[in-house]
Amino acid sequence: MAAITRKEARAEVFHLLFETEFHPEASPEEIYALSREDREFVEDAYIRKAYFGVQEHLAEIDEIMARHSNGWKPGRITPVSRSAIRLCIFEMKYMDDIPAAVSINEAIELVKTFDDPKMRTFVNGVLHGAKVELEALAEQ
């Protein structure tokens, strides 16, 4: 199988995170294995790092999301937007090789494609707030 682009890999992680929303009884390892079998996606270091990284840091990522969601608890945000936000925050906090602007743009594209168009503005605001917070922390 040929290598996949970062954009394709990011979309795959987004789908894994979205699937995880609907299978709380399954472990991330089970979801990853079943998804690989069902969709036959290429094994990719980014997919593994991002998917399992979001799972490992989920509480922290959700706290950052909650601080910038204008009073919305993560559970009130649509599963599509929540998955895109989680992935973007993970990238901004734990993947120094990806510029924050790229992470945000890709998350917005996922939301525009898979969620209500009205969510785009909300997600953009959450992610820009998270970006400012993470940049301030990095400067300390």
Full pLDDT tens readout for the chain, 140 residues: 567 899 999 999 999 999 999 998 999 999 999 998 888 778 889 999 999 999 999 999 999 999 999 888 888 899 999 999 999 999 999 999 999 999 999 999 999 999 998 899 999 999 999 999 999 998 88
SS3 (DSSP) at 83: helix
| Residues whose CB is less than 8 angstroms from the CB of residue 90 and which lie 6 or more positions away in sequence, other chains included | 50, 53, 54, 57, 61
In whole angstroms, what is the distance from residue 101 CA to residue 112 CA?
Answer: 16
